[in-house]
Amino acid sequence: MPPSMVGESAAGTLRRQVVRLALPAVGEQLLTLMVGIVNTMLVGHLGAEALTAVGLSSTIAGMAHIFISAVGTGTTAMVAQAVGAGNRPLAERFLEQAVMVALGLGLLVAIILFPLARGALVLMGAEGATVGMGATYLRCIAASLPFSVLMFVGNAALRGSGDTRSPMIVMSGVNLLNLLLSYGLIRGVGPLPELGVTGAGVAAATSTAAGGMVVLAALLSGRAGLRLSRLVNRPDRQVLTSLLRIGLPAGGESLLMHGAFLAYQRSISSLGTVAYAAYIIAQRIESLNSMPAMGFAIASTTLSGQAIGAGDPARARRSVFASLQLALCLAAVCATLSFTMPRFLLERFTQEPDVIAQGIAPLRVVAFAQPLMAIAFSLSGGLRGAGDTRSPMTITGIGSWCVRVPLAVLAVTVFDLGLAGVQASMMLDWLVRCILLGWRFRPAAWQQRTAKLSGELATAAANRAP
């Protein structure tokens, strides 16, 4: 076979691997987001105050997941590298330690968040009835956090092992249960009481807790070649050090991003309840459109990590760019829909004319950001799979705090550009990230980083060999 045909065959095989991992991951990410989207759609018909209560509470709950997401990032990367190196016992050791740490963090955050829910909403700018409704919703979410972390970290480990279907199936069940409970409890269907926003919180908490128990059962049974022997284990210093080496910068990245997001949202909330409600819907649509890119980022992380573990950094880099190309194709479709059909999309969430009118312009701005987000997600995922979480953290800090937040504040306080101006600052943030991530992904930097990591992984595996 001619070399060109060999190259084409290898590229085709790689793209099939990316699609095999990415499509279930896209489904999982979409279904994860749908819990919030379903609640937003059902609550949206209760009015702008109810919509704002759920939006602000969801943002605060997202802050609570920062360090848990750090554990998940470290778990995916280290499990993928161990599986790529053919060391399943080491992968299971990473899983056990990650679950133990995540459970402790989940319990701690729940204990802190429950009594502080009302104060947190006031700090976010909530007023009037929004505070009471949001506090109840947030406390429901806090109560489910220990189960939520089990689902989050367990799914992260399964993805690292190459199983992206099981997390998708779990999230399908979570969404179905959430839809049924939300519809019944918000509206009061049949024997169920009409609880409004509280019903949405109860539904989200119950469905998430059920998902956590299902993932736990799957890991205890040895799903995808990973068996969780126990929930609480003796701390393994070397394993925890490796997890934290990757996870802490990922947590720092999430902290920087969410902190900037809070400041960003604070600027938007100063525009009033109607404007904030319009932003929440536009943000939900933006998140929905970003799911394909996030799914391909997961494929990028898994394939990059497994290739690094197998000692093939060149294949790792090709995997990342294969993921990026496919993500860009889907991002173009989503961007086209956001730009050409903003009113139709907004009307799926609310029928209030003022909210729809204010949401059209920012949603069109979001369309231009979609391809940039696809590029940034794939490149960041590849770096994380290779164990480099410091670069994404630094780049996120630069983009969010040096670009997005100051420009958003200026758009509101100086130039009076409204929601469209605030969203434009978000687009410029993603543009800066793409440029910096591309520089970090240049061949010389990639070769240097992966050579160092391969040596570290070989030494670690030898030291921890059973």
Distance CA(97)–CA(101), nearest Å, equals 6
Contacts of 141 (CB under 8 A, 6+ apart): 57, 58, 61, 201, 204, 205
Angle at which helices 48-64 and 237-269 cross, to 10°: 150
Q: What is the pLDDT of residue 454?
A: 56
Q: What is the pLDDT of residue 23?
A: 75
Mean pLDDT in runs of 10 for the chain (466 residues)? 44 75 75 70 76 80 74 84 84 88 86 86 78 87 88 88 86 86 84 83 90 90 81 78 80 79 75 79 79 83 83 83 88 89 84 83 86 92 84 90 89 79 88 92 74 56 50
Q: Which 3 state secondary structure label does DSSP give 236?
A: coil
Region of residue 87 (phi > 0: left; psi between -120 and 50: alpha; otherwise: beta): beta
Q: Which 3 state secondary structure label does DSSP give 152?
A: helix
**CA 153, 34, 120: angle at the middle one, nearest 5?**
70
φ, ψ for residue 276, nearest 5 deg: -65, -40
Distance CA(430)–CA(369), nearest Å, equals 7
Distance CA(251)–CA(239), nearest Å, equals 17
Q: What is the pLDDT of residue 145?
A: 87
**CA 160, 166, 171: angle at the middle one, nearest 5?**
110
Q: What is the pLDDT of residue 214?
A: 92
Contacts of 186 (CB under 8 A, 6+ apart): 42, 43, 46, 194, 195, 196, 197, 199, 200, 203
Going along 46-196, which residue ranges are E strands?
none
Q: What is the pLDDT of residue 456?
A: 55
Chain length of the chain? 466
The HSE-up count of residue 310 (CA atoms within 13 Å, CB side) is 13
φ, ψ for residue 188, nearest 5 deg: 80, 65
Going along 117-247, which residue ranges are E strands?
none
Entry pTM? 0.74
Taking residue 327's Cβ as centre, other Cβ atoms within 10 Å add up to 29
Contact yes or no for 405/264 (Cβ under 8 A): yes
Q: What is the pLDDT of residue 452?
A: 60
Dihedral sign (CA 121, 124, 125, 130): negative
Contact yes or no for 342/363 (Cβ under 8 A): yes
